[in-house]
Amino acid sequence: MWALTVACVLVALWLGCREVDSRQAEEAGNRTSIPAARQRMIEEHLRSRGIRDPRILEAMASVPREEFVLPSDRANAYADHPLGIGEGQTISQPYIVAYMTQLAEPESTDRALEVGTGSGYQAAVLSLLVDTVYTVEIIPTLTQRATRTLQRLGYGNVVAATRDGYQGWREHAPFDVIIVTAAPDRVPAPLVDQLAPGGHMVIPVGSFWQELVVITKRSDGSVVTERVADVRFVPMTGEAERLSR
């Protein structure tokens, strides 16, 4: 009986060690696969589809996207499709993040506004390309989570707040770059007002059918609007939602 008990204990210990070893191997595999997945994102999803700005490619290669998704989605962080981040919101696919950033033509001295902080990923990418990023999010829990992630990862030139994005952030305007990651039915007038002369705003517009629009403000205050792609974003809520009724 004593020998049987010892044998059972040894088997239990062996199975426990195998479970630990398996978990450690899986974690090590994930650490190894993430750099490969990130490089594959750069080559297959970005460079091959027209993202050519070297600064943007470098920023996309530098930001650890796996830190901005839910733990259950870390293995899929670099797949080229949106992922849920809770509260009915998503993190955009890598190509769309890079494409919108390229359309905005960010410069190192720029002041940027992001409308729709979400996970904080777009703000992190922008932060490597401009002087300061101001980012607003209407859902407090997302603002708090994104702020913790950005601070933990050292993106110190990002300022986040819980605000209605339709109204922008007038206290810090004008902005050389505005990137909007939720779709209103129409372009919000306050955002156009807060765009600096020579600046670019990239925004999805529409309800069911949406278009990605680039708005450039001329030195005389007039604007040029260019429609560049069909897209699908979560709708902008708050004031934008009220005005659409």
Residues sharing a CB contact under 8 Å with residue 110, sequence separation 6 or more, in sequence order: 129, 130, 131, 175, 176, 177
Catalytic residue flag (residue 92): yes
- 3-class secondary structure, 39: helix
The active-site residue out of 92, 119, 219, 222 is: 92
Alpha helices in the chain (DSSP H): 2-40, 54-62, 94-104, 121-127, 140-153, 189-193, 239-243
Please tell me whether the peptide bond between 94 and the residue prior to it is cis, using omega within 30 degrees of 0. Answer: no
* Domains of the chain from N-terminus onward: 46-243 (3.40.50.150)
Residue 171's pLDDT is 97
Residue 134's pLDDT is 98
Residue 244's pLDDT is 80
Walking along the chain (245 residues) 10 residues at a time, the average pLDDT comes out as: 43 44 42 85 97 98 98 96 95 97 98 98 98 98 98 98 97 98 96 98 94 97 96 93 83
The number of C-alpha atoms within 13 Å of 69 and in the hemisphere containing its C-beta is 21
Residue 241's pLDDT is 86
- Residue 183 has φ and ψ, to the nearest 5°, of -100, 115
Residue 10's pLDDT is 40
- Residue 41 has φ and ψ, to the nearest 5°, of -60, -45
- 3-class secondary structure, 111: strand
